Chains A and B, each alone.
Chain A
Amino acid sequence: MSDTTAPTRTVAVVSAGLSQPSSTRMLADQLAAATRDALTERGVRVELPVVEVRDHAHAVVDHTLTGFPPAGLEPVMTTLTSADGLIAATPTFNASYSGLFKTLFDLLPEDALTGVPVLIAATGGTPRHSLVLDHALRPLFSYLRAVVVPTGVFAGPDDWAGGAAEGLLRERINRAATELADEVARRPPRRPTDPFALPASFEELLGRGGQS
């Protein structure tokens, strides 16, 4: 039973695939659906807004150059900085996340993902890329002080072939989604941070001069 008075939670879904259709987006969608199911089972209502990085490619680069988000990118940044959880999926390019994927996360203000549960996922052209999860994605989100759930999901050509997504990949997706749902459900809803809020009263700021 869903508690109708509890606030709806938000799990942002970032997909950095470039082609259309994109296997990265397919993986992200399956993770999103499994996360929705797992949270619904726990009585938590959830919204899963999808950020297609390709749609914002120019805006992302403009932001790095100007220091402020272009009008269209601002809602995306708000989604990422206020979500209760995050599913982050990227293709593997030259043994790492794609440059656009990283550039998007480079734009986040300090502490934007601190304590936020994150499910990491990647796609690649060969199963030998699967370590991208633990060599590239996990350190990135650890640095951002996010709580990365233990199961990351990598999908290669074998996983998509012949309906294999219903087999081992499905199992990994469900396990990862369950871990993410547990982390999201046991946390209080996230309160948006205000970049214009004062960190301390002025008397405190004045007094701090002599210490530390």
Chain B
Amino acid sequence: MLGYIAARTERLLLSTATTLITTNDPVKIAEDYAMLQHLAGGRVDLMLGRGNTPPMYPWFGQDIRNGIPLAIENYALLHRLWREDVVDWEGRFRTPLQGFTSTPRPLDGIPPFVWHGSIRSPEIAEQAAYYGDGFFANHIFWPPEHTRRMVGLYRQRFEHYGHGAADQAIVGLGGHVFMRKNSQDAIREFRPYFDNAPVYGHGPSLEEYMAQTPLTVGSPQQVIDRVLSFREYVGDYQRQLFLIDHAGLPLKTVLEQLDFLGEIVPVLRAEFARLKPPHVPEAPTRASLKAARDAAATEVER
């Protein structure tokens, strides 16, 4: 599907949320997303996750209790497949590889930038920091304090592993919103969905839940203000995703939410850019990664 979107678009950055690194073969991921890079002219990055639905693991011959070891071993292999032309490899979960070349090779030899997504596993924050990759905190359905701790751990370990200062680490957050022109209308319309949705319903009230998690139901301006406040506990960050198709909303309503998103995103982009200190980088793109590599090569030639 991303290949289809790549063919129909010119500027959109294509990403995933999330690609399961536990139950997918890292060789297949390496080849699929390298191929997508070529089709999309490099407009690709990849967000990896473990998947926390227990019944899913056995469908692929895996065991959820191995979630963390699978994520670590599979990504270690994926990382090598994109960076070494010929790989000899042996691990615990996958059949060994001898003299294996993953094809096609990444576009210009530059693998897609990778985000590691997690809700509450410090091991995944550590993994993202170890490789100098991005860390995506799920953020939604959880109190801000939780996200603050996870992102704080990632930033501190990112610096520890020598990829830059803690505030230069690459952070993404999820968020869940429902918007109408007037906040009262938004609350009135969303409440019955909230009260009965499997993930939200029959527990705290909508108001309590909004106070305790990033869920924001209100006017576009209220959403803008709330999203800009996330910086206060995670620092300047690079990517914000929004969950807008949730709680059983009908398709027409979800598409209207997409229109509202079109309204707030330019404002958020401008505000984030204005607030961000110059030494904090943008999320890496193919262009920035290529420029960095070429600069490093020139440095070596000297």
Binding site for B on A (CB under 8 A): 61-62, 65-68, 70-71, 195-199, 202, 205-206, 208-211
Contacts and interface: CB of A to CB of B under 8 A. Distances in A.
Nearest to B77: A209
Contact of A209 (B72, B122, B123, B141): B72
Chain B contact surface mostly: helix
A199 B76 contact: no
B77 to A, nearest CB: 10
B142 interface: yes
Interface string B88-103: 0011110000000000
A62 B122 CA distance: 25
B204 A66 contact: yes
Given A66-B203, A202-B130, A209 B153 contact: no
B72 A206 contact: yes
B69 interface: yes
Given A66-B203, A66-B209, 9 more contacts: A65-B203, A68-B142, A195-B122, A196-B122, A199-B122, A202-B127, A205-B126, A209-B69, A210-B90
A208 B69 contact: yes
12 contacts: A65-B202, A67-B142, A68-B213, A70-B208, A195-B122, A196-B122, A197-B122, A198-B123, A199-B123, A202-B130, A206-B76, A209-B76
Given A62-B203, A66-B209, A202-B126, A196 B141 contact: no
B190 to A, nearest CB: 17
Nearest to A69: B143
A195 B125 CA distance: 13
Nearest to B202: A65
A-B pairs with lowest CB-CB distance, top 7: A65-B203, A209-B73, A62-B203, A202-B130, A196-B149, A209-B92, A62-B204
Given A65-B203, A70-B208, A205 B123 contact: yes
B141 A205 contact: no
Given A62-B204, A202-B127, A209-B69, A195 B91 contact: no
B222 interface: no
Contacts of B191: none
A202 B91 CA distance: 16
Contacts of B208: 62, 70
Contacts of A61: 203
A198 B160 CA distance: 14
B93 to A, nearest CB: 8
B239 interface: no
Interface in B132-188: 141-143, 146, 149-150, 153
Listed residue (A195, A202, A209) with the most chain B CB atoms within 10 angstroms of its CB:
A209
B212 interface: yes
Contacts of B90: 210
A68 B143 contact: yes
B144 to A, nearest CB: 11
Nearest to A205: B72
Nearest to A202: B130
B120 interface: yes
A70 B204 contact: yes
Given A66-B204, A70-B208, A71-B212, A196 B69 contact: no
Contacts of B213: 68
Nearest to A64: B203
Contact of B91 (A65, A71, A205, A210): A210
Contacts of B69: 205, 208-209
Contacts of B126: 198, 202, 205
Contacts of A211: 92
Interface in B189-227: 202-204, 208-209, 212-213
B148 to A, nearest CB: 10
A196 B142 contact: no
Nearest to B130: A202
Contacts of A70: 204, 208, 212
Contacts of A206: 72-73, 76
Contacts of B122: 195-199
A205 B68 contact: yes
Contacts of B68: 205
A210 B92 contact: yes
Listed residue (A61, A196, A211) with the most chain B CB atoms within 10 angstroms of its CB:
A196
Contact of B120 (A71, A195, A198, A208): A195
B297 to A, nearest CB: 28
A202 B68 CA distance: 12
Nearest to A197: B122
A199 B123 CA distance: 8
